Amino acid sequence: MARSNTVLKRVSPLRLGLAIGGVLVAALLISETVMDRWSGLIQEGPLDPFARRPEGVLRDLRLAVVHCLLAGYLPAAFLYVLRSGRKTVFALQDALACTEEECRELAESIRFSRRGLLIAGLIGAAFSFVTPYLVPPVPESLWSPATWSAEVAWHRILGPIVGWWMVWLVYAVFSTSRRLSRLASRLSSVDLFDRAPLAPFTQQGLTNALMAIGFVSLSSLFLLETGMGNVAMPLGALTLFVAGAALVMPVRGVQQRISQEKESELTWIDAQLRDCRDVLRKSGKDRRVGAIADLAAYRGLVDRAPEWPFNTSTYLRFALYLLIPLGSWAAGALVERMVDRLFF
């Protein structure tokens, strides 16, 4: 386990994703060249920027490229979620009032069970075997290698791998978020008017959401192909739901701590108000009126304090993240049109 952790620390998620995706795309293009598949593309005629054709070598090639990109992105995102979760623990060292050694132990506790990973992977693989049946036209022997073209072979081989890693990413997001949320119970204190020490929780939520939306962005390229909306749209909607949950889950424990602190502070203020009222009633003097006014103003301030550690910047960033898939789809259509004008 120690050796695997050392490897994880040395591997850059960005380099990992670029390496896997780059190698797969390069291998795909080389195989197309070796098998002289480009002549088939030219024979199909000019590209259709919005992919009205339900089948063909060009359509299958583009789908294969997207599979390659997803196969590179998902492992990188999985590793990044794990690594950022552990970094968040160290960022919370002051708020948790823990030593360096204690923080290291807490960070190492963010790991995934082998059983959970196995179940998640099998669910993802099973999902990938079902989705091709939702995309018309459905061939009679969908999983018979004898019926696969060179490009379709990439779909069928990479599909289960992408499905496996897709659910692994969801599992990583939820598992990491749940563990970080539990750390809120270890916070030494919570200040209702100073949320800066709690910022790492919010940042982790944004990171998780970004990783999920990144998957939607690449998957949106499927929408350029006829019939893929039957899969891409529901999958995108589900992933956006996961992104919203990924934003909220890491801060759920913090929200509960803030709610408890807020309730405790309001209870104390109410007790002080009652004491001041009783003294005022008994004495009949207004020496407590100023204190009552101050306590009432403070109570309103506490009552208006938000329970979620989000600010305007958090909501703005999340909204901008949600626009990324649209930009990805538009960029894909633009690139396709440019290729059409340059080569056909």
Over the stretch 292-305, which tens digit does the pLDDT of each residue have? Answer: 888 899 999 999 99
pLDDT at position 211 is 92
Nearest-angstrom CA–CA distance, 259 and 241: 25
- The pLDDT score that the predictor gives to residue 285 is 60
170 has pLDDT over 50: yes
pLDDT score for 1: 47
pLDDT of residue 47: 46
pLDDT of residue 93 exceeding 80: yes
Residue 48, pLDDT score: 47
DSSP track, 173-200: HHHHHHHHHHGGGG-S---TT--GGGHH
Give me the helix-helix angle, 150-182 and 13-34, nearest 10°: 170
pLDDT at 337: 58
Return the percentage of the chain with pLDDT > 70, whole number. Answer: 81
Q: Which of 216, 180, 211 is nearest to 96 (CA)?
A: 180
Measured CA to CA, the distance from residue 166 to residue 187 in angstroms comes to 33
Nearest to 17 by CA among 78, 59, 66: 78
Whole-number pLDDT of residue 50: 41
* Reported confidence tier of residue 343, pLDDT bands at 50, 70, 90: very low
Give how far Cα 158 sits from Cα of 128, 137, 152, 265, Å. Answer: 9, 20, 10, 56
Confidence of residue 94 (pLDDT cuts 50, 70, 90): confident
Q: What pLDDT band is residue 142 in, cutting at 50, 70 and 90?
A: confident
CB within 8 Å of 167: residues ≥ 6 apart = 120, 121, 123, 124, 127
Q: Please give the average per-residue pLDDT across 181-200, as a whole number.
A: 87
- What average pLDDT score do residues 18-34 get? 91
Average pLDDT of the segment spanning 161-180: 93
Report the greatest alpha carbon distance in the chain: 100
Of 307, 277, 301, nearest in space to 289 by CA? 277
pTM value is: 0.83
Task: Name the most confidently modeled range: 125-134, 168-177, 189-198.
Answer: 168-177
Highest mean pLDDT out of 42-51, 55-64, 143-152: 143-152
- Tens-place pLDDT, residues 232-247: 677 677 777 888 888 9
**pLDDT at 286 > cutoff 90:** no
Q: For all residues of the chain together, what is the average pLDDT?
A: 82
Task: Calculate mean pLDDT across residues 206-218.
Answer: 89
CB 121: neighbour CB atoms within 10 A? 19
Please tell me the predicted confidence (pLDDT) of residue 97.
Answer: 83
